[in-house]
Structure 1
Amino acid sequence: MSSRETELHASPNGAVKIRSVVSKLDDDTLLQRLGKRPLLKRSFNFMSMLGFSCSALLSWEGVLVTSVSGLLNGGPAGVIWGFLINWVGMMSVYATMAELASIAPTAGGQYHWVAMMAPKSSRNFLAYLTAWLTTLAWQAMAVSTAYIIATMLQGIIILSQGPEPTYVPENYQTVLILWASVIFAVVMNSTTGRALARFEGLVLVLHLAGFFGVLVPMVYFVPHGIAGSNDARTVFGTFLNTGGWSSQGLSFLVGFPQVGTSLIGADCAVHMSEEIKSASVVVPRALLYTIFINGLLAFGMIVGLMFSITDLDSALEASNTMFYPFLEIFRTAVNSTAGAVAMACVILVLAVASAVGVYASASRMMWSFSRDRGLPFSKLLVKLTKNALPFNCILATLTITVLLSLVALGSSVALNALLSLIIAALFSTYLLVTTLLLWRRTTGAIQPYVVGAESLDADSLAWGPWKLPEPFGVLNNVFACVYCVFLLFWSLWPQYTPTTPTTMNWSVLIWGFVVLASVTWWVLRARHYFKGPIREV
């Protein structure tokens, strides 16, 4: 954000007038005050970063994929009201993170903020744990995005063959398509930062245009006024409990977290902070604009989707044949296989574009953690190309994706168990940073914003140029903490009862294993060499 200073100027008639002079904050100077050397090129402005974060978030496209669990536990009304609650909660969380990003816009994000705000006795440990959870969550997100792309393409092939398809998807085919999608993401991330920024600006246009290209034909061509068609009372008032839970309320709460997963990932802008111009203002703006725009689009798509369901049983059954119920909903809505395939291809293209942004964020998070010597082979991973790109981290992310995708050759259930880490890991870090910020702001430990503050660390915290006014800031911070606890708790529940190994929600096991492994390694080795974000300057 620009700082405003005042100058006096004499007018021709002798009068004195005041003019506001705007001077841009020096990003590199701020980064040096945070203890980091400016090594990455700042190629992103607000619009390109907005396109980057909107495409990585993939909101209205994502709700088409994630709404099935909400339909099973909650029904149409559960999906709609659950999404609205999640939208408000995520806006609160990202507003809190926007305040932190304005204070310290670094690629490390959450773990750097934890190191700044945590008590001195536990500072390094909490930063280390947060860094591992964030790094692994973004690696899992990279695999998850590629897996969705692969299975969506297979579903589109089945859809294109009409009511009696002959194609039977094999696991090895899923893996090969997955590899092809991540290779494209790696190639795009291996170009210059300026080329990536231009690509993301184009994606923003496609993201907005694609929304209307899918929503308009879906709601326009769906049969109206016939038996089985939905009206407002059905859409906004019909709750379902097909998970076997003891009450409708419990069923709604079980399906509640999955509806909001399409809003996870806007913090990708945080991990790109060191490549953004005027990052202390652009990152907060990108976070808030992204969650507002994408939330609005996603809500519109959810309402349109719920009104377009004429046969819920057939739509849910399509998950066993075409992976995703929305493909069958498209076909019945427009009454055309070709039209449904065209609509689905729009989503597929945007999903491929999303993989580019996810890969960029995952590699930057890995690079940042390596810069502070927290990962194995840190000396190799931290190296940059002549174009200032963390290419070794991009290749490492590709390697991890390839290795994890091999799990799908044996069982897609096992792969989904690994990918279930995303919600639990990310919301654990969100909860930690929002709680620490609440503690610091209520104890008066954060000083007012001052242009050119000498240092920014745990002993001299100061607000950045973007901050919520009080008391709204405190109230929002409290709500963000409550929401994180609520969502984290219900995200660990299985979707069905009684639970089998196939329907089990393995996130609690995977999340627990990561936390336990991190704590164990901290006690044995990491506490001797990891000292939090290293002061390089």
Structure 2
Amino acid sequence: MVETYAMKSGSKIASDMHHSRSSSDQHGEKSVDRDEQEMARLGKRQELRRNFGFMSMLGFSCTLMITWEGLLTVFVYGLTDGGPAGLVYGYLFCWLGYFTVVASLAEMVSMAPTAGGQYHWTFLFAPKSCRNFLSFITGWQSVLSWQACLASAAYLGGTIIQGLLVLNYPSYDFKRWHGTLLLYAVITLAMLFNTYLAKQLPKVEGAVLIVHIVGFFGVLITLVYLAPHGSSYDVFVKYLANGGYDEGTSFFVGLITTVFAFIGADGAIHMSEEIKNASTVVPQALVASIGLNGIMGFSMLIAILFCIGNIDNALSTPTGFPFIEIFKQAVQTNGGATAMTAVVLSLMIFATIAVLAATSRMTWAFARDNGLPGSRFISQVEPRTKLPLYSVALSVLITMLLGLINIGSSAAFNAVASLVISGYLGSYTLPMVLLLHKKIFNPSSIHYGPWTLGRGLGIFCNTFGLLWIAVVMVFSFFPSVRIGLTVATMNWSCLLWGGTMILGIASYFGYLRGRYNGPIVETDIIEQVHGV
């Protein structure tokens, strides 16, 4: 793979990475653990407790993405642009695209299983002349996208509760500040699971995987059995272009629904330093989760499109979520619709718990390498629990502060949340480009991990995945409604993404100038393992 990863001596690694960090920790006995050996070859000390296995990580990855549930919560965008047929074929296109991207990420995490993920790989693959900068930009996007995703997940949980209040209490006066308070309740619960109950998190994630699957069948069977069914034409042929675009453009603008449903696919990567046999378990969990969630998501999409009933009523529902109206039309009672929605809500809350875990680890890892202001504070690990509690607290605080924006303007909050897609896909791009370049022009320099795609399939996945990212990112910047565009309906993601990129570049050449030099090598660990 990468020259740095394959180095045999600690001094050579330190020299190649241009810097090192000494530690005052006492040298322990030489580790024979595979995970610690792999960490040591990357210049990192094992600081977090490894208590996740394959099943718990599969549950973590599946419930973090919550594809079939997430598909329902952002259903409105695909219905507006593309309609039923656009959703069906757009889903298949995005599923294939995401699969190639996730397979590429799985191959890279097998090479270098660290919590930093993308920015660490970018540093390893990039030319020496620019790898510090490229690594920083990748890490910056990853941190921002995870923070935005955390706020979005908590917000969706809170507003689904508001939607249920609107459904069951017609006199309820919908206020944005109510949504913010409910967001606070969701994120507080997530913090509880990531601190006091952290030891139980692997067991919880395994149990939630069961709920994720059983809940899917519960909602699907109820919907298909009770709801009136439309025709095949209504599902596979009927296009809608209510956003004011032509049919072709509407199809691509409506992809946002499916892209969001698969968002956070790299979550397991940032838990790598807490997983046993990470170089094989993480790739397996990534690929298995995208396959399992993809099947369930497509099945739910087909079911809900056949059972959608009156599309205009679904789009104009006062609950704010078309899927709640579709549930109500199916079961003909508020109680039944509430019970079905409660399944989606509970899994959204558990997804927030998983997102907080991944967000805090990504933030902690980047701070560990001096990539953020206040890195010394953020990168601390509480010695008794072996948890990055300061990073957890910071992530919760950021979400609470972002939640205040919703009180003044939901459009402004949604603009911040729009960083999710562009940030995630942007963080995948550079390591995939650099790895593809190595596969084509310098394949002998690649030191693969135990999980690999092979050269031919790997080049295909890297290439198709990059083309897919380019298409999706461009259209993710389009407003969902072109006609009568206002400040509230404008898609501000391009401005926010560009602005945060400029801010990151300014930070790199300003406050962080000379402080971020790529992943730090802890020389004492390298020397301990290699006997230098």
TM over 0.5: yes
CA deviations 1:170-195 (Å, max 9, x no partner) are 11111111101101100100036431
Aligned to 1:478: 463
Over 3 Å counting, the alpha-carbon distance change for 1:173 and 1:257 in structure 2 is: closer
Matched, 1:275 2:262: no
What is the correspondence of 1:277-426 to structure 2 with a 5 Å cutoff? Answer: 277-318=276-317, 321-385=318-382, 386-426=384-424
- CA deviation after TM superposition for structure 1 residue 446, in Å: 4.7
Aligned pairs (5 A) from 1:180-195:
180-191=185-196, 193-195=198-200
Alpha-carbon distance in 2 for matches of 1:220, 1:126: 52
| Residue number in structure 2 paired with 1:115 | 123
1:250-280 alpha-carbon deviations (Å, 9 max, x no partner): 1111112332210111210000000000000
User: Structure 1, residues 71-106: CA drift from partner, whole Å, max 9, x if none?
Assistant: 111010001110110000000000000000000000
Match of 2:23 in 1: none
The equivalent of 1:512 in structure 2 is 498
Q: Is the 8 A contact 1:44 1:194 kept in 2?
A: no
Say which SS state the counterpart of residue 406 (structure 1) adopts.
Answer: helix
- Residue 524 of structure 1: how far off its partner (Å): 2.1
1:455: which partner in 2? none
- Name the amino acid aligned to 2:340: M
Tell me by how many angstroms 1:470 deviates. Answer: 3.0
* Residue correspondence of structure 1 range 55-204 to structure 2 within 5 A: 55-161=63-169, 165-191=170-196, 193-204=198-209
Residue identity in the other structure for 1:94: V
**Unaligned stretches of 5+ residues in structure 2:** 1-31, 524-532
Q: State the distance in 2 between where 1:470 and 1:463 align.
A: 10
Contact 1:129 1:519 in 2 (8 A): yes
CA contact (8 A) 1:139 1:362 kept: yes
**Mapped partners of 1:266, 1:472: distance in 2:** 20
SS of match in other structure, 1:169: coil
Quote the Cα distance in structure 2 between the aligned partners of 1:244 and 1:125: 41
Q: 8 Å contact 1:115–1:127 — kept in the other structure? A: yes
Question: How many residues get paired?
Answer: 490
SS at match of 2:512: helix
Name the residue aligned to 2:24. Answer: none
Partner Cα distance (1:171, 1:72) in 2? 24
Secondary structure (helix, strand or coil) at the match of 1:528 reads coil
Tell me, in whole angstroms, the C-alpha distance in 1 between the residues paired with 2:512 and 2:378. 18
Q: Deviations along 1:264-298, whole A, 9 cap, x unmatched?
A: 11210000000000000001001000100001100
TM-score (structure 1 length as normaliser): 0.90
Query: Distance between the aligned counterparts of 1:278 and 1:446, measured in 2?
Result: 25
Provide, for residues 367-417 of structure 1, a one-character-per-residue CA deviation record: whole Å limited to 9, x for no partner: 001110111111111111211000111100111011111001101110000
Query: Offset at 1:25?
Result: 6.8
User: For each residue in 1:480-502, what CA deviation from the matched residue of structure 2 results, as whole angstroms up to 9, or x when unmatched?
Assistant: 11111111111111111132211
Taking the aligned partners of 2:324 and 2:143, their CA distance within structure 1 comes to 33
Q: 1:195 to 1:446 in 2, by over 3 A?
A: farther
Read off the aligned partner of 1:526 and give its amino acid letter: L
Distance 1:201 1:535 in 2: 34
Instruction: After TM superposition, give the deviation of residue 526 of structure 1 in Å.
Output: 2.1
CA deviations on 1:433-452 (whole Å, 9 max, x unpaired) are: 111110011122454xxxxx
SS at match of 2:455: coil
Name the Cα RMSD after superposition: 1.2
Instruction: Give the whole-Å Cα distance in 2 for the aligned partners of 1:327 and 1:257.
Output: 20
Q: Which of 492, 495, 503 lines up with 2:480 in the alignment? A: 495
Listed as ranges, the gaps of 5+ residues in structure 1 are 1-23, 225-229, 448-460
Match of 2:512 in 1: 526
Q: Give 3-state SS (helix, strand or coil) of 2:114's partner.
A: coil
Taking the aligned partners of 1:523 and 1:430, their CA distance within structure 2 comes to: 23
Q: 1:445 to 1:331 in 2, by over 3 A?
A: same
| Separation of aligned partners in 2, 1:257 and 1:223 | 27
Instruction: Check if 1:41 corresponds to 2:49.
Output: yes
1:130 and 1:527 map into 2 onto residues whose CA distance is 16
CA deviation vs aligned residue, 1:447-489 (integer Å, no higher than 9, x gap)? 4xxxxxxxxxxxxx41101111231211121111111111111
After superposing the two structures, state which structure 1 stretch, 273-282 or 436-445, moved more.
436-445
Kindly indicate whether the alpha-carbon contact (under 8 Å) linking 2:194 and 2:356 is maintained by their aligned counterparts in 1. Answer: yes
Change (3 A) 1:25 1:238: farther
How far apart are the structure 1 equivalents of 2:107 and 2:513? Answer: 29
- Is the contact made by 2:439 and 2:455 (CA closer than 8 Å) also made in structure 1? no
Paired amino acid for 1:177: L
Paired letter, 1:103: M
**Mapped partners of 1:410, 1:525: distance in 2:** 31
Q: CA deviation at 1:68?
A: 1.1
Q: Equivalents in 1 of 2:162, 2:198: separation in Å?
A: 32
The amino acid across from 2:328 in the alignment is R
Query: Identity rate of aligned residues, in percent?
Result: 41
Residue identity matched to 2:481:
Y
Alignment map for 1:420-435 (pairs within 5 Å)? 420-435=418-433
Distance 2:444 2:116 in 1: 20
Query: What CA distance in whole angstroms lies between the structure 1 residues aligned with 2:412 and 2:198?
Result: 36
Asked whether 1:239 is paired with 2:239, we answer yes
Does the aligned pair in 1 maintain the 2:107–2:449 contact within 8 Å?
yes
Letter in 1 for 2:250: S
